[in-house]
Amino acid sequence: MRPFSLFSIVLLCVAILLVDFLAFYWLKSITSLLDFSVLIIIIHTLFWVFTFGLIVSILILKITLDDILPSRKYLLISRFYGLAILSFIPKLIFVIIISVCYFSNYLFSETQSLIMVPVVGLLSGFFPFFIILYGVFIAAHRFKIHHHSIKFYNLPYAFNSLKIVQLSDLHLGSFNFRYAIVEKAIEKINLLKPDYIVITGDLVNNYAWELRGWENVFNKLKAKEGKFAVLGNHDYGDYSKWNSPKEKQENFEKIKTFYKEIGFQLLLNTSKRIAKKNDKIAIIGVENWSKQRFKQYGNLKKAIENVEDISFKILLSHDPTHWTEEVIDKTNIALTLSGHTHGMQMAFQYKNLKWSPIQYKFKHWAGLYKHNQQYLYVNRGLGWLGFPARIGMRPEITYIELQYKNKN
């Protein structure tokens, strides 16, 4: 989670205050319809108590952030982030809708607006409020299995019906050691009886201490053949302040050690040959690769050099932009598994229709993509970061079955 400057926090507070002034203006037009003056005073008082309480708390949190224990810091940040969104977005929508209703003469006559506009305005505010509330307390923990069967001409027949479960962007620190939540996902995965389980990065938010106790949960994961993982941009500790390079390196080594403790082979610009009968496939893993402002650790050329002779390759690479930049039309990698985007934890999805604001930043942001005979799958993430919710973008367990396709 990247730190925000004091100036950015002040701008956020000003925006909250401005929207709340506008919301209160319209709220008064609604409460004026009530006959109970005491009730009106209570509603108005509670409105401003919450507003100023939230703003003061955000400012105090920012000023005292350095003195707060890291384990407590991220919990507080995410909670205030959630409260700010829960307050700001419904009120903003309420202000926009009720303003349009009042000033659009062609929608309401003067007499109708006295009754209809407050009703429409209140509904426009409460509806997104409850959607966000659902996203925070329910949807963020409703793990969804996305099942895909992909056919390949060049898949060795011995590997027909190979089953792979992919996890990504667990961000375990955000769960605040609530192991029981993730254990539900583990149970779902084990019921799938996968041959391989892979994790495509961002195990933590920043720190190795986030992993405390999680080995007991992840040691329950069962794969028939093996478990592999790669690192994501958050696994390197690049977003935190360290007392020394040694301290940062020790944190990094503890994260790598954790993978060993839970039986995952960490592929750091390396590859693994997998043989079955007389056939072979390769699983390749690169460190975090990105053309954005993240540090560049990935080296596909190095990772692939020992498996050039194998015709069917699977690549684990955290950032999906890697697929277009270095994979398609430049290699014969059949399937790339990525994560990173989280689908912005907010989207509209219905059958083949999907939309999220993240698509304006990432061309490939959720689900399965194809270019000629090469495939990319972008996992929506199991955990969350920053905003503690998922709206229309449930946490994902990817279940992929590889199928041999006869050219005849």
pLDDT tens-digit profile of 95-150? 888 888 777 644 445 555 555 666 677 778 788 889 999 999 999 999 999 999 99
Would the pLDDT of 69 be above 60? no
Strand, helix or coil for residue 150: strand
Q: Is residue 317 within 8 Å of 336, Cβ to Cβ?
A: yes
Phi, psi of 169 (to 5 degrees): 50, 55
pLDDT at 98: 82
- 220-224: average pLDDT: 98
Would the pLDDT of 154 be above 50? yes
pLDDT at 99: 82
What is d(CA 351, CA 304) in angstroms, rounded to the nearest whole number? 36
What tokens appear for 76 in the block?
Answer: 């507080």
Class of the domain covering 144-404: alpha beta
Measuring CA to CA, how many Å separate 34 from each of 39, 91, 99, 120?
8, 21, 20, 17
pLDDT at 106: 47
Phi, psi of 320 (to 5 degrees): -65, -20
Residue with tokens 């977005």: 89
Measuring CA to CA, how many Å separate 405 from each of 153, 246, 369?
5, 51, 18
Strand, helix or coil for residue 279: strand
Would the pLDDT of 44 be above 80? yes
What tokens appear for 182 in the block?
Answer: 């993730």
- In the chain, count H helices and then E strands: 9, 14
Kindly state the helix (H) or strand (E) to which residue 274 belongs, with its residue range: strand 270-276
> What are the boundaries of each domain within the chain?
6-137, 144-404
pLDDT at 240: 86
Would the pLDDT of 198 be above 70? yes
Any bridge partners for residue 285, and if so which?
A: 270, 316
Kindly state the helix (H) or strand (E) to which residue 40 belongs, with its residue range: helix 37-63
Question: Which residue has better confidence, 298 or 72?
Answer: 298
Choose the weakest-confidence range: 46-55, 246-255, 301-310: 46-55
pLDDT at 85: 86
- 18-31: average pLDDT: 88
Q: What is the mean pLDDT of the chain?
A: 90
